[in-house]
Amino acid sequence: MDFNSHTDAIVRMAVGLVNELTPGERRGRPFQAPRDLVGAATEGLRTGYPGQREVTEEEAGELAGTAARLRAVFEAVTAGDVDTAALRVNALLDDTRARPLLERHDGEPWHLHFHGRGGTVAGDLAASCATGLAIVLGGDFRDRLGVCTAPHCDRVYVDVSRNGTRRFCGTACQNRVKTAAFRARGRTT
C-alpha cells in the first residue's frame, strides 16, 4: 500500500523523528531522550530520506519539538480520536505555513514539496511531515498510523502492508509478543 513515493518517504520520516527523538518505551525498555540530539534527529530523517545531510544542533532541537507534536497525532489516531489528530495536524500546518509547491531538482522530475521557499530546514521538514500526515488523515488510510501494541513499547509506525493489519513498530516487538504468548501457552499445558 503506497500513498505516493514522496508522501511515503515523508510519513516514514515523521515516524523516524518520533521514534528517535521522543522519550517513552522501546522494545520493552525505557527510552530516554537521546544525548546525541544531532545524531538521533539525522537518523530519524534518514528513515524517509537515506541521503539526508546531518542536521545542526539548532535544527535538531527544533525537530525534537516537532517530534513531540507529531507523536500526539499518532497517539490520537490510535485512541480513535481522529478529530484531535486532525486539529493537531492543522496546528502544525498553520505554524509552519505549509503550502504545496512543485519542485524539480537533482535530475528528478517535477514533484510536490510541502513547504514554501525561504523557510528554515527544520521548519520545512516540520511542514512536510505535517502535510504528509494530513494526506493520510484526510484519506481512507488514517487507521494505518499507530502506536506499537507490544507491552512496554510506545514507538509509532505507519502500516504500508497490503492488508493493513500491522500492530507493532517492528519485528523485534512482534517477536517479543509471540514468544511471550508461546511461553504462556506452554505453562498452561
Neighbours of 143 (CB within 10 A): 13
Neighbours of 4 (CB within 10 A): 11
| Amino acid symbol at 92 | L
User: How far is residue 86's CA from residue 123's CA, in Å, rounded to a whole number?
Assistant: 19
Average of per-residue pLDDT across 121-129: 94
pLDDT at 163: 87
What are 26-59's pLDDT values in tens digits?
999 999 989 999 999 999 999 998 999 999 999 9
- Is 66 within 8 Å of 96 (Cβ atoms)? no
With left for phi above 0 and alpha for psi between -120 and 50, is residue 27 left, alpha or beta? left
Beta bridge partners of 145: 158
- The beta strands (E) that lie in the chain are given as 24-26, 29-31, 101-103, 111-113, 145-147, 156-158
Q: What is the Cα gyration radius of the chain?
A: 17
User: How far is residue 12's CA from residue 129's CA, in Å, rounded to a whole number?
Assistant: 9
- Is 74 within 8 Å of 143 (Cβ atoms)? no
User: How far is residue 86's CA from residue 130's CA, in Å, rounded to a whole number?
Assistant: 10
The closest of 123, 113, 146 to 10, measured between CA atoms, is 113
Residue 4 has pLDDT above 80, yes or no: no
Average of per-residue pLDDT across 60-71: 97
CA dihedral 75, 160, 7, 139 (to 10 degrees): -70
Question: Structural domain boundaries of the chain?
Answer: 5-143
Q: Which residue has the higher pLDDT, 6 or 110?
A: 110
What are 83-108's pLDDT values in tens digits?
999 999 999 999 999 988 888 888 88
Residue 180 has pLDDT above 70, yes or no: yes
Of the candidate CATH numbers 3.40.50.2300, 3.30.70.141, 3.50.50.60, 1.10.3300.10, the domain formed by 5-143 belongs to: 1.10.3300.10
